Amino acid sequence: MNYTAHYDRLIDRAHHRVLDGYFERHHATPRCMGGNDSKENLVDLTAEEHYVAHQLLVKINPGIVDLVSAAFLMSGRAGHNKAYGWLRRRYSVDKSNRMMGNKYRLGKPQSDETKAKIGAASLGNKNMLGKKFSTESRARMSEIGKKKIFAKEHRENLSIAAKRREARPGMKERRSANALSNAKFMAHSRKRQHAFR
C-alpha cells in the first residue's frame, strides 16, 4: 500500500474545504520533521481523519520516535478511528460544559437581572482580574520576581531539596526499574511497528 499517496490525498482534501462542528488542527509536515505553524502547514481534520493521519505518518516514517509517541497516545484512548472520533467529540462537549459552569444552566439565556447581579459581584473582585498595571509597576514586579528566582538562597534551597529526593530510600532502585520498564516498552513498540509494515 502506498501510505504516502493516501496521506497526501488526505491533506490535499483538507486544504480545500471548511469543516463545520468539531475538528482538530494538524501539522501536515510534523514539527518533529521541521514543520512550522504557518497557515500552509496547518489543516483542519475530523477526529477520525486525524487519527488515520498519525497512523499513516508512522508507517511512512517508522524511525521517528516523536511520530510513534503521538500515534501511540492517540491509540491509547481508543482502538480505532471511529471510537477515537466519538471520544474526542464527547470530550469536547464535556469540556465546554465544564467551562460554562453549571451544566443545568447551559443553553438558557440569562435575564438582565442575573447579568446585573453577576456584574455587581465582580466589582468587588479581590483578585483584581482585568486590572491594568502601569509600566513602572510591571517593571517593579518583574524585578522582584527575578530576585526571588535567582537569589542565592533560593538556588541553595532547590539544591537541598534535590539532594533529599535522591537520598530517599529505594530511589536508585526505582529509577533503574523505571529505566528497565521504559526499555521494555520501547522494544515492544518497535515489534508492533514492524508488524504494521
Which cell numbers in the block locate residue 10? 488526505
Residue 128 binned pLDDT confidence (cut-offs 50, 70, 90): low
Residue 1 binned pLDDT confidence (cut-offs 50, 70, 90): confident
The domain ranges of the chain are 3-102, 133-197
8-state DSSP, 115: H
Residue 2 binned pLDDT confidence (cut-offs 50, 70, 90): very high
More confident site: 186 or 44: 44
Rounded Cα–Cα distance for residues 106 and 99 (Å): 10
Rounded Cα–Cα distance for residues 10 and 88 (Å): 19
**CA-only gyration radius of the chain, Å:** 25
Residue 147 binned pLDDT confidence (cut-offs 50, 70, 90): low
Residue 81 binned pLDDT confidence (cut-offs 50, 70, 90): low
Please say whether the beta carbons of 196 and 58 come within 8 A: yes
Amino acid letter, 158 = L
pLDDT at 104 exceeding the cut of 50: no
Rounded Cα–Cα distance for residues 73 and 177 (Å): 22
Give ∠ CA 44-95-51 in degrees, rounded to 5. 35
Answering whether pTM is above 0.75, one says no
42 closest CA partner among 21, 67, 14, 61: 14
Give ∠ CA 161-176-193 in degrees, rounded to 5. 120
Rounded Cα–Cα distance for residues 123 and 128 (Å): 9
pLDDT at 103 exceeding the cut of 50: no
56 closest CA partner among 38, 74, 41: 74
pLDDT of residue 21: 86
Q: What percent of the chain has pLDDT over 90?
A: 17
How many beta carbons lie within 10 A of that of residue 9, not counting itself?
10
